[in-house]
Amino acid sequence: MKLVRFGEKGNEKPGVLLNGKRKDCSHEFEDWNRAFFQGDGLVKLENFLKNHGDGLPDVPESVRHASCIARPGMIMCIGLNYSDHAKESNMSLPAEPIIFGKATNTMNGPFDDVSIPLKGDKTDYEIELGVVLKKDVTYLASEAEAEAAIAGYCIVNDLSERAFQLERGGQWIKGKSCPGFSPAGPFLCTPDSLGDVHNLSMELKVNGQVRQKGNTRYMVFKPAYLVYYLSQFMTLEAGDLISTGTPAGVALGMDPPAYLQKGDVSELTIEGLGSQKQRYI
């Protein structure tokens, strides 16, 4: 299944992608939020689509694409999780996952404009595989248990203001939490509809030029392990989002750095997960 959300900010509704068309599920489901995932919502949705999918109304093409999940309780991010990205950052591969948080109000639609921060001048892009949970988990015993807790996967642009992140002291979160800095979608794909999550090609372009070109097989720590690992330190809740790191090619790693400017356009694609596009204003 492929879950979408649509509508203006603050009034988003849930839907699904069927045969390339967005379909409205809002008469049957409230939203793709924590309550939905925690209450076996994916099973209920699958059964509903088997019986009623053909009768769902279309979402007009003109209607905004919202983030593919509602605002989560937590966004956890993984740093230096691709070997090539660690190399371009002149940093050693981590022995354990590097984790940091990101404000949940950064969630944004996959095609929404993104504002360059008012006092920022080093805004950077990061194409990432997003992992969404379908149950609350703490102290998982194995990666198999972790894999069973995953609702699905999506594209995330983990945007960063490097001046805030690296030059202003403290934790990375201040450079990760600017408004609109977590475009997610265009859809959440359940594991059974995706194929091999450990072998997905990834590409990000800026103004038509390829900046990042990678594959999830180069992840240092795989998605199920990350869910297992994080559960040893905290409770992950249904609907939470984990952004799993980015491959090489970020602006910070270029010589000289080529940070995003007003008027730039980024395009992100992950195999099996569609594409998203942002204009920077």
Look up the CATH superfamily of 75-279: Fumarylacetoacetase-like, C-terminal domain (3.90.850.10)
How far apart, in whole angstroms, are the C-alpha atoms of residue 107 and residue 30?
18
Sketch the domain layout of the chain as residue ranges.
Answer: 2-55, 75-279
Rounded to a whole number of angstroms, the distance between the first and last alpha carbons of the chain is 34
Residue among 203, 194, 251 at smallest CA distance from 223:
194
The pTM of the full predicted model, rounded to 2 decimals, is 0.96
Query: Which pLDDT band holds residue 85 (cuts at 50, 70, 90)?
Result: confident
Residue 76 — left, alpha, or beta (φ > 0 → left; ψ -120 to 50 → alpha)? beta
| Token pair of 196 as six digits | 């091999």
Q: What is the pLDDT of residue 79?
A: 92
The string of pLDDT tens digits covering residues 117-168 is: 999 999 999 999 999 999 999 999 999 999 999 999 999 999 999 999 999 8
How far apart, in whole angstroms, are the C-alpha atoms of residue 68 and residue 65?
8
| Token pair 């921060």: residue | 117
